[in-house]
Amino acid sequence: MSLPLLSTPPRTQNARVRTISVGNEESPRQVSQTIGRNATSPDELIGQAYRQIFFHAFKADREPVLESQLRSGQITARDFVRGLLLSAKFRNDFYRCNSNYRVVDQIVGRVLGRSVHGDDERIALSILIAEQGLPGLVDHLLNSQEYLDAFGTNTVPYQRARVLGGRAVGELPFNQQAPRYDAYWRETNARRAPAGRGSGWVPSGGFSLPRPAWLADAPSPIARKIWQGVVTTGGFLLTGFVIYAAGVMLSTAGAG
């Protein structure tokens, strides 16, 4: 039996405050599937969705099937966002590069456009990930009343209330507040394949990590450097010998 979702009282103020400032370059981009002369183009909506979820998508990271379905009206903007969150790009570059706590920070910021409501919500949603995985968390957020009230089914999520009254500069964009991964992933990656000298690697904590079992038979970095030096020196000597032999042959032919 799955555990019920823990209740989390709201603590993030900015997401619940309606801005009264005049829109400028600090204001969030609100892109919706509208109809009429001033309708948003599919390219603009798709581009904004990629920026919100991936921050930037290279050509290899794009989802042509989802884009085709959105252009033809088969899916809504909310369905397109769900597809991006469950794509291989997001799994490999965000979900698998972070702990469950940081995954919650990443997805809540991108989907609901706000920061998490403290450790209570972070822990509650982390338990949801442990029970239902990434799809369970994505469906919970996209089907929540908060998401429907803020963005509906046709608006791409954006960072809410970036500009507040009495502040000259808006909040830092979420993608800059929470980069794709932090020191946790660098330390974890180093444990899997240390790249330091000798038999171990010394991370920022100062402790030495042993070489993994699958690198036990591989030459050490020092041995590889010695081998590279020997090969480089041998190449220079061989090249010099060839040049010397060619010079002797040419001089002999000129004397004859």
Render pLDDT for 48-60 as a digit per residue (tens, 0 to 9).
999 899 888 888 8
- Helix/strand/coil for 200: strand
Element counts in the chain: helices (H) and strands (E): 10, 2
Give the predicted TM-score (pTM) of the model: 0.63
Say if 6 falls within a structural domain.
Answer: no
44's enclosing H/E stretch is helix 42-53
- Banded pLDDT at 33 (limits 50, 70, 90): low
Average pLDDT, the chain: 78
Question: What pLDDT does residue 3 have?
Answer: 60
Residue span of the structural domain in which 219 resides: 196-256
54 and 155 belong to one structural domain: yes
β-pair partners for 201 = 209
Question: What pLDDT does residue 50 have?
Answer: 92
Domain count, the chain: 2
**Gap between the Cα atoms of 96 and 105, Å rounded:** 14
176 and 204 belong to one structural domain: no
Q: Phi and psi at residue 117, in whole multiples of 5°? A: -85, 65
Count of Cβ atoms closer than 10 Å to residue 66 Cβ: 20
21 and 77 belong to one structural domain: yes
140 and 229 belong to one structural domain: no
Say if 99 falls within a structural domain.
Answer: yes
**Gap between the Cα atoms of 187 and 202, Å rounded:** 10
**Gap between the Cα atoms of 96 and 118, Å rounded:** 23
Question: What pLDDT does residue 26 have?
Answer: 47
Say if 153 falls within a structural domain.
Answer: yes
Whether residue 170 has pLDDT greater than 90: no
Say if 229 falls within a structural domain.
Answer: yes
249 and 161 belong to one structural domain: no
243 and 181 belong to one structural domain: no
Instruction: Give the closest residue to 84 by CA, choosing from 53, 58, 105.
Output: 53
Structure tokens at 105: 């920070």
Percent of the chain beyond pLDDT 90?
30
Range of 13-27, 110-124, 215-229 with top mean pLDDT: 110-124
Residues 6+ apart with CB under 8 A from 191: 209, 212
Instruction: Give the closest residue to 65 by CA, choosing from 51, 46, 93.
Output: 46
Whether residue 72 has pLDDT greater than 80: yes
